[in-house]
Structure 1
């Protein structure tokens, strides 16, 4: 699928950085193509089926709201910007990104914090003609709310919520009487932890007109569904009302293989809350991790009632290629139906595996998204618009004149910022969305001095990455594959392979992922592909090794001393 002018039209929210003056050391990328598939997704779907995940790749912590026949979803983005991607759907299966809620320079400042900080679990809601997103921003202000009359934007500047203290994951609920409430995670009452990972859920009234919390804060859950079991890190709460009762759902157990979703209910927003009789209502921690093609770490769910009266849940989970946390694609957005049993919602019965294929919601058929988010697909960006497509991101800051779109190409000016500097390198990247994937681009770059390099970066975070770049070595343009795999490696990485590519002709660069292995290849002129390095250890990019909450990002990169 070729996405040039169409993708640029979708990118109306990313209005920055498209001007600048190039120079001899500038790198030019003429196009970028992503192709991906997964072995478990080989069979063709029937007309009434859908495939999980519905939004593949690094799209964690989904939250969803409905306005009439339209559904809107937001995800976390952590240290990458523009942040908080906003999606639209009419069938809960086919999703199209329509905005980034944090899309202008200067709205947040992550400083030199790690990439796994930044924008945590967001929640989207709608009331009386206005959309709200509540969120936590590490390193810059804590909890905040942004609003928009149109979910496509523009979204407002953040309004900070100091009364929520140091907690995370705020979620907004509007009651039938028009009153609004915010629930979030925080330390227990008196800031006293009874055990490591002891957290609580709190509620406070919210003034939706003036965008501020009011009245007292009330702790409604301490520890989790059963504090006697010492549950860790209860978080990601959402509140609903059904048949006159208030239902609270939240995750506990951390976002690894112990992840689980719990349910409580109460006669009033402030409680008292009683845990459900069958908790958790969603988990995979009770299944054999050695089962074929597992889906793991399910939780952080949000529930939604459709216009037909069905209930569904969006939630995060992961698809490891080995072990519970050996995955490079990040935490992804999944969809499952919700059953009500004796007045309680249930997503999956205990011991039940998340299906990769399910029966679609009973909603009007919707054409597939122009930019696919599920199943095998190919997306090619021609860089021929006036803005980058909405799914391209850069670390930490949107300010800077180090890039421009011109003449159907993406131009990057090398900066004296490396992938390890916890700063803002010359890097635009997109997500790896499949276990097996390839990233291909055409690069024109002639480094005019030692220390300049440009090509592709493959990055999980500041300490774990590959760099596949053209640079000048002993006076000859040379392709180099370098890696950093933690603090034991130098910040500039270790060289794994090198290949002279003399002259000044354009280079086609390709990175291929095959589960835990990555290959690096080059093509020049009319020649075919030549492998520079095969079977590089890509497990260093897995969550099991690199830790954190993100997935692998790949894209055009430039570095130098200017």
Structure 2
């Protein structure tokens, strides 16, 4: 049999990498003889708000989850709490956390971690999956995670498990349209699904007019029951005021009555949380007279330590039967730009009356909360997720890679190999500017002031080869900072891509005799990129640059900035 041509082999590998099929390292190395090896990664948060507000023994910080962890939903089984968030085109999909006390959380990875069943390989970064709901059903001792998937014609899906720590079943496609689904189980075990949808055809009154629908849910067939759908909220609290984007509904039952809590106003400056009451899960629902119950929209835009955009909330009964809510919010930098994305915050809730009252939910939010009685703050210790200012060090010596490292549009395992020297990235022939899986190991930017540095052992073979650091809001807005080749010389280069247009900001020729260090340091809106050829003495590559393109204000979308270890065999960032 004739041997296939090399270009054919490369073409096959190119296709396989996008279909989530692992590619053998020995074959990839024919494309790049010596792939880059990264080691000694240090991420350090330096936000002034935490320096000015140190914790006392009975306090903890909110946000609980810093960086891009939006749209939180929470459930409980006994003393075990589970919380999920949106992930969009990040992989694995739907990050999930576990806690025993609502303060100390353990990262369990992602619910949707099988690329054969969830494959966002060709989606924009703000697509993929978002606005999950998670509910424990005591009647069959089963957890349900329900979410909208904007990939692979999946639509609304649900997955189940008896134990979230041991993985989840396969996605089940649900037969309804709309977004932001949540599932609720009544005292008699009967199931209901609520979600955001468009008004009935021909009845849309204005841009942003949405409705909340409810369906009965068959727990045996795991499907909504056809013909049971009903609109239970039209437009929002007061349709005459043309409210926009009633969404993210959650159903609760307390004291024999049913409560429907939703976000209203869009997920920006006007974001809020509102609540309705009914004698039946199918309505009619009457809005509370004190809506909104959570918002930050009434306060001066120049207030210090600003938290904004609060909403998209869920409520849980916590330790000592005290209620708490998790919700999204943002912390803009000094120029009002949102680089860290929408984060997961918490507030205590007083539900001693008819309606829940968010404690301090209608005043400017503060960075600290009182601990629940008897709880010890262990965040950042003993394997619990950190918050506040912290340092994360990674030498890639553990057999299990920290869940904070994620892929984009595909599994990280498709391009990484752990070696004795560190983490080897086997580069795809894909550029960071393409809407495809990239060979980039990402970490969420979790502070407005931070530094991220790495040691890189790498000698590029050609101008198509590049490895280094990427700061990314999406494929059309990013910075690439790395090592590449120009003719016979090696260069370190900094490229800015804004709205799809790329420009070389700075570049310089270097001699590589040993592994070098690369670092990006942000102080609010200012980002500085530097390198050290001897591993110690850093030199700035160019001057400080603006982080504007790493903000949702400029780049749009729903995610926060990511910083990643990047390698490509399709580089087009050419030194000057």
Tell me the TM-score normalized by structure 1.
0.92
- Could you tell me which residue of structure 1 aligns to residue 497 of structure 2? 484
Q: SS of 1:272's equivalent?
A: coil
Shift of 1:341: 6.2
Corresponding residue of 2:326: 314
Q: Which SS does the other structure have where 2:553 is aligned?
A: helix
Question: Of 553, 556, 561, which residue of structure 1 is paired with 2:565?
Answer: 556
Helix, strand or coil for the counterpart of 1:193? Answer: coil
- Which among 223, 236, 251 is matched to residue 235 of structure 2? 223
The residue that corresponds to 1:362 in the other structure is 373
Shift of 1:30: 1.8
Mapping for residues 243-322 of structure 1, pairs under 5 Å: 243-322=255-334
> What are the superposed Cα offsets for residues 203-240 of structure 1, whole Å, 9 maximum, x if unpaired?
11112233111141111001111111111111111110
* 1:512 alignment partner in structure 2: 521
Structure 2 counterparts to residues 133-152 of structure 1, below 5 A = 133-140=145-152, 141-152=154-165
In the alignment, is residue 393 of structure 1 matched against residue 402 of structure 2? no
CA contact (8 A) 1:404 1:410 kept: yes
Q: Is 1:37 aligned with 2:46?
A: yes
Summarize the alignment of residues 75-114 of structure 1 with structure 2, pairs less than 5 Å apart: 75-114=85-124
1:69 equivalent in structure 2 = 79
**CA shift at 1:90, angstroms?**
1.6
1:233 pairs with 2:245 = yes
| CA deviations over 1:231-253 (Å, ceiling 9, x no partner) | 11111111100000001101011
| Matched residue SS, 1:228 | helix
Matched with 1:7 is none
CA distance in 1, matches of 2:361, 2:376: 31
- Residue 534 of structure 1 aligns to a residue whose secondary structure is coil
Q: Which runs of structure 2 are paired with 1:344-383 in the superposition (5 Å)?
A: 344-348=355-359, 351-362=362-373, 364-365=375-376, 367-369=378-380, 370-383=383-396
**1:112 CA displacement:** 2.6
Q: 1:18–1:405: 8 Å Cα contact kept in structure 2?
A: no
SS at match of 1:294: coil
- The structural deviation recorded for 1:380 is 1.0
CA distance in structure 2 between the aligned counterparts of 1:328 and 1:348, rounded to whole angstroms: 27
* Matching residue of 1:462: 475
Q: Do the aligned partners of 2:496 and 2:505 also contact (CA within 8 Å) in 1?
A: yes
Q: Distance in 2 between matches of 1:417 and 1:77?
A: 22
Return 5+ residue gaps in structure 2 as ranges: 1-19, 572-576
**Greater alpha carbon shift after TM alignment, 16-25 vs 535-544:** 16-25
Deviates more, 1:355-364 or 1:534-543: 355-364
* Alignment match of 1:193 (pick from 186, 195, 204): 204
Partner of 1:5: none
Q: Contact 1:391/1:430 (CA < 8 Å) preserved in 2?
A: yes
Q: Within 1, Cα distance between the matches of 2:513 and 2:225?
A: 64
| Displacement of 1:311 | 0.8
Q: Secondary structure at the match of 2:280?
A: coil
CA RMSD of aligned residues (A): 1.9
Aligned length: 541
Return closer, same or farther for 1:401/1:244 CA change in 2, 3 Å cut-off. closer
CA-CA distance at 1:189 after TM superposition = 2.5
Distance 1:486 1:506 in 2: 33
The reply on whether 1:169 has 2:174 as its aligned counterpart is no
Question: In structure 2, the residue corresponding to 1:380 is in which secondary structure?
Answer: strand
* Residue 522 (structure 1) aligns with: 531
Deviation at 1:129, TM superposition (A): 2.1
Cα distance in 2, alignment partners of residues 103 and 457 from structure 1:
24
Matched, 1:495 2:508: no
CA contact (8 A) 1:17 1:403 kept: no
Aligned mates of 2:335, 2:532 — CA distance in 1: 35
Give the TM-score of the pair, scaled to structure 2.
0.90
CA distance in 2, matches of 1:341, 1:277: 16
In 2, distance between residues paired with 1:157 and 1:386? 26
* Residue 47 (1) aligns with residue 60 (2): no
- Measure, in 2, the Cα distance between the counterparts of 1:268 and 1:408: 62
Equivalent pair of 1:79/1:118 in contact (CA under 8 Å): yes
Q: Is 1:20 aligned to residue 31 of structure 2?
A: no
Given that 1:106 and 1:399 are in contact with CA atoms closer than 8 Å, whether structure 2 keeps it comes out as no
Give secondary structure in 2 for the equivalent of 1:201: strand
Q: Is the 8 A contact 2:161 2:167 kept in 1?
A: yes
- Whether the 8 Å CA contact 2:92–2:109 is kept in 1: the answer is no
Q: Any idea what SS the aligned residue of 2:127 has?
A: coil
